[in-house]
């Protein structure tokens, strides 16, 4: 959309807001950016606590308020699948839709990898944290579409053309939901909240929060809200409102009764939480997310995002260990680690993985696994014999629990260095034991294997390409390069840490 068209549409949307009781403060200006999107700017000073927008629930596009409500209910659709049908239906109604000026203002789809050409997504995301995820999304959503939307098309109940509910349009609707929908309340579920979804995101720098009106005060029904979303693979996770503080963003509905009798229709509100000066863009936050999550759900990334991480799969560790020792060796060591109560993070497909933080710090459980892998046979045998007495809870989430249990492992496996292991009680002591030369070189090897998944381009190649890439005209390529570069830099920091451990040991020996 060019800037002039976007500005015309903003004007039409402002008339629409007045007609539907949506109030936007005079201190805010809705404008079109050169990149084609809409954003919100302050034209007067905004101060903490100012209410800058009120939006009646009835103005939100939800499965309940849409003209498709009866068909959605008859088909027993729930969660974001129901909302996707509502959005596709209202889009198909064109000028006859009560939301036409809102739907004309927002894009048909957000540029998330789900809607990129399949071969492009595969190429650009190869090796990144999104590589498998996006393929899985496509599969799950195709299944959902076949199971729930094809029958709706065949029934003809909605009175729209089959193409209006096509798989492509379903993906497009899902991209809007993942980047723009908010959790409203138990009755409405998730919905599109006009005006609230025009604020762009800034990590740790937001000015507004989406929140409930002051008159609303009973949230108790909201806890078990997933109830009718089972058919939807992504559940209600999709909401933009998952963003910052859930308690602020989950908007109350007093009852689960249908609209009308007994249902309160308090306005939703946008409240200033950080002062903004005239001329400044007014930002919301979609949450504290790394670049993979931002690109996945919102179609953009941020350079130097401190919430970035890289994961190393347990299968990758097993593969490396099998090639260095043997498959049997790897199987035994990993299963002892697991028997002692350790685990990584559980992936969507239940496979374990380990996080490497932005500054290259590996997850403690990975270091412990590498410690067990690098044990000499006699120490390993002692640990096997003592394993029964050392077994911890499977759900040792607390870092101190993990430290405490590892201290016991150290006592069994390093009795000769008893004086040293006696002093091992806190995380820094444990790290001293874990930051050994053998664990360091194992981590470097793992970083190399993880890095090889990106293909033959080096980090420097990627950085050069990123420099020359336009975030506007080559948007998909640009953001996938930011993601690759940030992941590879984390792997670089991991390697740097690991090689430091070897050096300090060597220096000691000299």
How far, in Å, CA of 170 to CA of 397, rounded? 38
Print the SS3 string covering 260-282.
CCCCCCCCEEEEECCCECCCCEC
Cβ atoms within 10 Å of 374's Cβ, excluding its own: 19
Q: Which is nearer to ligand SAM, 110 or 462 (CB)?
A: 110
**DSSP letter assigned to residue 426:** S
Q: Which is nearer to ligand SAM, 299 or 360 (CB)?
A: 299
Q: Which residue of this chain has its Cβ atom nearest to ligand SAM in the complex?
A: 37
CB of 453 to ligand SAM, least distance (A): 26
Q: Which is nearer to ligand SAM, 213 or 241 (CB)?
A: 241
Biggest distance spanned by C-alpha atoms of the chain: 82
Q: Which is nearer to ligand SAM, 171 or 298 (CB)?
A: 298
CB of 209 to ligand SAM, least distance (A): 14
Q: Which is nearer to ligand SAM, 174 or 180 (CB)?
A: 180
CB of 3 to ligand SAM, least distance (A): 12
Cα 102 to Cα 15, 36, 83, distances in angstroms? 10, 16, 16
CB of 106 to ligand SAM, least distance (A): 5
Cβ-count burial 16-26 (b if 16+ within 10 Å, e if not): bbeebebebbe
- The two tokens of residue 267 are 């306005």
Q: Is 224 exposed, middle or buried (0-12, 13-18, 19+ CB in 10 A)?
A: exposed
CB of 323 to ligand SAM, least distance (A): 41
Indicate the SS3 state at residue 93: coil
Classify strands 200-201 and 283-284 as parallel, antiparallel or unpaired. parallel
List residues binding ligand SAM (CB under 6 A): 37-39, 106, 110-111, 179-180, 197-198, 200-201, 240, 298-300
| Closest of 367, 368, 361, 343 to residue 353, by C-alpha | 343
CB of 201 to ligand SAM, least distance (A): 4
220 contact partners, CB below 8 Å, separation of at least 6: none
Q: Which is nearer to ligand SAM, 65 or 240 (CB)?
A: 240
Cα 151 to Cα 73, 139, 157, distances in angstroms? 14, 18, 10
Q: Which is nearer to ligand SAM, 178 or 374 (CB)?
A: 178
CB of 193 to ligand SAM, least distance (A): 10
């Amino acid at each position: 959309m060019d800037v002039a068209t976007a500005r015309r549409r903003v004007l039409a949307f402002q008339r629409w807001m007045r007609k539907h009781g949506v109030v936007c403060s005079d201190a805010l200006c809705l404008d079109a950016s050169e990149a084609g999107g809409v954003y919100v700017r302050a034209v007067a000073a905004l101060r903490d606590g100012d209410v800058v927008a009120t939006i009646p629930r009835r103005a939100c596009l939800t499965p309940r308020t849409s003209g498709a409500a009866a068909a959605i209910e008859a088909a027993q659709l729930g969660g974001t699948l129901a909302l996707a049908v509502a959005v596709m239906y209202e889009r198909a109604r064109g000028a006859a839709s009560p939301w036409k000026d809102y739907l004309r203002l927002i894009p048909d789809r957000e540029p998330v990898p789900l809607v990129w050409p399949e071969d492009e997504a595969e190429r650009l995301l190869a090796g990144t944290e999104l590589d498998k995820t996006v393929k899985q999304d496509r599969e799950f959503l195709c299944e959902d579409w076949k199971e729930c939307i094809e029958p709706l098309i065949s029934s003809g109940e909605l009175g729209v053309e089959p193409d209006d509910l096509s798989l492509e349009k379903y993906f497009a609707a899902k991209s809007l939901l993942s980047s723009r929908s908010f959790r409203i309340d138990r009755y409405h579920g998730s919905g599109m909240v006009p005006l609230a979804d025009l604020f762009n995101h800034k990590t740790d720098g937001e000015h507004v929060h989406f929140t409930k009106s002051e008159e609303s005060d009973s949230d108790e029904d909201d806890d078990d809200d997933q109830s009718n979303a089972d058919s939807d693979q992504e559940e209600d996770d999709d909401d933009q409102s998952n963003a910052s503080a859930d308690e602020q963003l989950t908007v109350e509905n007093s009852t689960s009764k249908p609209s009308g009798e007994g249902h309160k229709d308090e306005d939703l509100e946008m409240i200033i939480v950080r002062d903004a000066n005239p001329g400044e863009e007014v930002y919301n936050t979609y949450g504290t997310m790394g670049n993979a999550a931002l690109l996945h759900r919102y179609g953009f990334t941020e350079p130097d995002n401190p919430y970035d991480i890289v994961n190393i799969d347990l299968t990758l560790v097993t593969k490396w260990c099998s090639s260095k020792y043997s498959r049997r060796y790897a199987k035994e060591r990993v299963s002892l680690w697991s028997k002692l109560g350790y685990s990584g993070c559980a992936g969507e497909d239940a496979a374990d993985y380990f996080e490497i933080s932005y500054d290259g710090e590996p997850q403690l459980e990975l270091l412990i696994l590498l410690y067990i892998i690098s044990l000499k046979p006699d120490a390993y045998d002692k640990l096997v014999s003592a394993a029964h007495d050392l077994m911890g809870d499977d759900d040792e989430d607390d870092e101190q629990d993990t430290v405490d249990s590892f201290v016991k492992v150290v006592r069994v496996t390093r009795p000769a260095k008893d004086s040293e292991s006696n002093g091992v009680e806190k995380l820094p002591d444990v790290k001293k034991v874990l930051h050994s030369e053998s664990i360091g070189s194992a981590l470097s090897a793992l970083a190399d294997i993880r890095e090889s998944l990106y293909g033959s381009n080096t980090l420097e190649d990627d950085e050069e390409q990123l420099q020359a890439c336009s975030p506007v005209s080559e948007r998909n390529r640009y953001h996938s390069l930011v993601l690759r570069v940030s992941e590879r830099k984390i792997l670089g920091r991991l390697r740097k840490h690991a090689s430091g451990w070897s050096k300090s040991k060597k220096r000691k020996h000299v």
